Amino acid sequence: VVLPAAAAARAADAVDYAAVRADIAAVLEDDSHDDGSYGPIFVRLAWHACGTYDKASDTGGSDGAYIRFAPEAVDGANNGLSKARARLEAVKAQHPNISYADLYQLAGVVAIAEMGGPDIPFRPGRTDAAPGSGGQPGRLPDAAQGASHLRDIFYRMGFNDQQIVALSGAHALGRCHRTSSGFDGPWTRAPTSFTNEYYRLLLEEPWVRTSERGVPDQYWDKKRELMMLPSDITLVQDAKMRVWVEKYAADEELFFRDFADAFRQLQELGCKRLSTAPVGADAAGGGSTATKSWWKSLFG
């Protein structure tokens, strides 16, 4: 893998985040992996590293990068994520001063932007824990469950119904694999493009639940080309959540804004030593005028 920004990297005790972003972008594309991009699995890695947070006990979250080793690495919900961690080793080798915890989260941010999604403010400062020092397995959502389970999981982290639906929009990306989750297939027809298509499909397709021996139930479209999980379908079955599905299906700009805000919050759960200002797309000169205005409103 060629990392074009490596030569422009950091001073001895600093991290050049613009260079790290460029090098993450350089390892995204790979025709031999799924739909030609590691972007979706980088987003999944970032989300799963954060999704263990518990507000009541203030435990879990992305700080520590516990997802690198047992017990989190071997949690069934994290099956397949070793591929994402391995892919990012080339970036870590060129930027040894960035923590794995920051690298995994920045990889998710870069992947979303590179696949056409919003620029998400990223604040570094996470540190890496030692193997065997902790981890919170068993706290991630079970895709076979419904609204009550989703609320248990996301309310535990401090989110509300609107944010549950916004974060679920990441299912515009990637696909499920029998060997990882037991489910199979992509959610959308463009699994490497970040759009609001996921919501439109939820509302427009006549989803049919199927049961097959030895695998969990899931939903297929009429051509059996696209799938939805039971946890996806519950978003349109639950009246309070459906309101937001309809809003995001009709307004991609609203979805992008709400997703970016919720994903930023997700990434920072439990993190106590983050920088006061974001680094990344805006620091490197990127981002739209509207995005820059939003960043300023968040961080001054």
pLDDT tens track for 147-199: 999 999 999 999 999 999 999 999 999 999 998 999 999 999 999 999 999 99
Best-predicted range by mean pLDDT among 133-137, 151-155, 210-214, 276-280? Answer: 151-155
pLDDT of res. 30: 96
What residues are annotated to the active site? 48, 187
Please name the amino acid found at residue 228.
Answer: M
What long-range pairs does 16-21 form, CB within 8 A, spacing at least 24? 16/95, 17/106, 17/122, 17/124, 17/279, 17/280, 17/283, 17/284, 18/280, 18/283, 18/284, 19/95, 20/91, 20/95, 20/98, 20/103, 20/106, 21/106, 21/110, 21/280, 21/281, 21/284
pLDDT of res. 282: 52
Q: What angle do CA 281, 283, 284 make, to 5 degrees?
A: 65
pLDDT of res. 69: 95
Task: Sort 200 into a burial class: Cβ within 10 Å, 0-12 / 13-18 / 19+.
Answer: middle
pLDDT of res. 14: 87
Query: What is the C-alpha to C-alpha distance for residues 175 and 92, in angstroms, rounded to an integer?
Result: 26
Looking at per-residue confidence, does 242 or 292 come out higher? 242
Looking at per-residue confidence, does 42 or 213 come out higher? 42
Q: Is 270 left (phi over 0), alpha (psi -120 to 50) or beta?
A: left
pLDDT of res. 293: 44
pTM for the model stands at 0.89
State the pLDDT confidence band at 133, using cuts at 50, 70 and 90. confident
Tell me which DSSP letter residue 170 carries: G
Whether the per-residue pLDDT at 299 is higher than 60: the answer is no
Looking at per-residue confidence, does 13 or 200 come out higher? 200
Q: Does an H or E element contain 227, and which?
A: strand 227-228
Q: Does an H or E element contain 57, and which?
A: none
- Per-residue tokens: 162: 């609107």
Q: What is the pLDDT of residues 39-75, one digit of tens each?
A: 999 999 999 999 999 999 999 999 999 999 999 999 9
Whether the per-residue pLDDT at 284 is higher than 60: the answer is no
| Nearest in space to 79 (alpha carbons), one of 89, 67, 88, 61 | 67
- Per-residue tokens: 186: 């992509």
- What is the pLDDT of the chain when averaged over all its residues? 90
